[in-house]
Structure 1
């Protein structure tokens, strides 16, 4: 019996050494969670025996329990490195199977998908409106997160906002004499760039002609390539009347957009609404206080940003951004019940409980820290102390077997 007790103690100490050694070997593994060997005593009592005088039968390993405490953040220079600050797991997929990990070392594969170092694709939620940066997400179903690697879609100019001051003492000119090519036929002008439906940039000029004491006409001209002889061509608008009151405030503003047709590159007609709200007629000099439009050209992908809620933004050379998706985050009622698969992966089990899948930062889920990785939660100093303790336990149980052997030899030698 003493031999079995000592042997059980050796096995327990050996399991403790192996568990601690595994923790130490993974001290540098991203997202690793340390384990703890948990033991119980072996106590056998026969039916009708006296418990007060029964001796124990040794020890045995009950469980190797995973400890899901937070690891420290280690910041990197890679924007696709992701760390979870709080509870939850990244979900990755491999040929339809789902796995869970705390290791956020992601990269882009040849097809544009976000993958880990084993080629498994990070799961996320698709945006309801990819063209908007204020979109919701379909959190009812997850899919592979993919980065848009092509050019972004251009947007044709549909509105021009012009906030100017038209000099009140400017001379009145004959509207019938207006000519884009004759500077004497208008009082002031300004210019900006607009874009057609193909993203082609076009020069746009706005000319202002005073036609009465408090009346003006605005004329717009948009470049339209060149003719066969290389002469520049233009598309012109009709006069846009502007009227002011005695305080210099604008009292009229165009209500219908003007359509420019016949664009040289067969782009869709440009329907542009001219917004002169805020334009004044004061005694000061002509001044352009604000001039803008809402179109833009196509753009190439320059970078990807991921915010704390897991929303993936793509940035393009045209200054625009688009939402590509949102990182999905999973959690379980009992994370310690997950099955360890190696390679920083866990799998679902019945013991882990039901899986919940939602956006980072919602409910009890942690937030995303981009450009960082979660280090192992192994405390080397504590593990080294545990190694010493497990070694002492092993030596003590070996001594138990040695002592039992000496006692047995003494009994055998009795004559």
Structure 2
């Protein structure tokens, strides 16, 4: 009887409409992947039946598969919005301790400095040093140092790249003598507590290709310091035999607390050009509060502080699966691992087949509304056609029953 075929068709069409309706409802859901109902025919089994003569008994929904195609990427400008451009999923530790995976990169900071989703899942990543070099291969929940300022760092090295004028006369032979301080520069060093220590460097020519360097610390008179000499070769570069001694500094908070710093003059030159400081850097800094965040395409999270420092605070990890169709969809735009999906394969963005990250952007749903509306009309007609087969079968039965 055709009732079975029609009923199975109604059930399959209804399930198809459910899937289409779910797609349309989530057309604006970030990271959502459209689903598709896939059908298979049903045949009755008979031991002695010959092939090709069995009438089918209907249809069934074999599976509802998801389409893991790339969605459009929309720029938002939000520091913690991240889109995956390519393969991969964000790895999340949910509040109950279970692991889930997502393409929705709408992250937030909670009060503990953890990067979390709207469902409370903690974003997983790799620890790094302050330069962004990965320090391990086991993913851990990413946490940013929002609880207080980063500590100060004592200055250990100051690098000064400068040019002294080869045309300058010897200071003592000039008429009048060249005043001490004609060629000078300064910078701020930092003690272990991050207190600034003004340091001055004064250059005075004492002979051809030879200069004395006087130092000033905490505003002292450079003339009272013991100078050291630097020499230059005929081509204007610093003589490799020149020894630049360490400089002793004292903390303004406690003058008895002294420490030594290295002065690096390796790039110093003496050319026939005006005196100039081309570059001056030192490696110390005062404490700083977190002011902003940045995420690179490789997933390295950089924290920027009020003292001008930028330090890496971790690297976002991505995972992929051998069979993404085997993942089980969950609420909140997440998927969970199953036996069919296989074990997650972890890596950093851009490694192997994993995609890169697009910071300040989100991946839109890959639902094609136009196609879904057409699919909905097709499913509606299929539902009506199956209902018509039941109606026709009912009319046939009615005719048989009314026979005299």
Structures share fold, TM-score greater than 0.5: yes
The one-character-per-residue Cα deviations of 1:167-194 (angstroms, maximum 9, x if unpaired) are 65535449xxxxxxxx956654332322
Aligned-partner SS, 1:70: coil
Correspondence for 2:300: 311
- Residue in 2 that maps onto 1:192: 187
Equivalent residue of 1:42, what SS? strand
C-alpha deviations, 1:81-103, integer Å up to 9, x for none?
11111111111112421111111
1:372 equivalent in alignment to 2:361:
yes
Alignment: residue pair count: 396
Cα distance change on mapping 1:56 and 1:212 into 2, 3 Å: closer
Alpha-carbon contact 1:91-1:330 (below 8 Å) kept: yes
Cα deviation, residue 256, structure 1:
3.3
Partner residue of 2:215 out of 213, 220, 223: 220
Cα displacement string for residues 49-79 of structure 1 (whole angstroms, at most 9, x for unaligned residues): 2333321111111111111111111110202
**Alpha carbons of 1:268 and 1:291: their partners in 2 closer, same or farther (altered >3 Å)?**
farther
Call closer, same or farther: CA 1:267–1:318 in 2, change over 3 Å.
Answer: farther
- 1:59 to 1:187, Cα distance in 2 relative to 1, 3 A: closer
**Alignment match, 1:151:** 149
Structure 1: segments with no counterpart, 5+ residues = 175-182, 225-231
Secondary structure of the residue aligned to 1:58 is strand
CA distance in 2, matches of 1:38, 1:197: 67
Q: Relative to structure 2, which stretch is displaced further, 298-307 or 157-166?
A: 157-166
Q: 1:289 aligns with which of 259, 277, 289?
A: 277
Once the two structures are overlaid, the 10-residue window that deviates more, 57-66 or 153-162, is 153-162
Matched, 1:240 2:228: yes
- Three-state SS of the structure 2 residue aligned to 1:405 is helix
Change (3 A) 1:247 1:307: closer
TM-score, normalised via structure 1 length = 0.87
Structure 2 matches for 1:73-84, cutoff 5 A? 73-84=73-84
Report matched runs for 1:9-408 at 5 Å.
9-94=9-94, 95-127=96-128, 130-133=129-132, 135-139=133-137, 141-149=138-146, 150-157=148-155, 158-166=157-165, 168-173=167-172, 184=179, 188-212=183-207, 214-223=209-218, 237-244=225-232, 250-251=238-239, 252-261=241-250, 263-265=252-254, 269-280=258-269, 287-295=275-283, 296-408=285-397
Instruction: Give the Cα–Cα distance (whole angstroms) in 2 for the partners of residues 404 and 43 of structure 1.
Output: 19
Structure 1 residue 39 displacement after superposition: 1.1
RMSD, aligned α-carbons: 2.7
When normalised by structure 2's length, the TM-score is: 0.89
Contact 1:197 1:267 in 2 (8 A): no
Gaps of 5+ in 2: none
Counterparts in 2 of 1:132 and 1:235: CA distance versus 1, 3 Å: farther
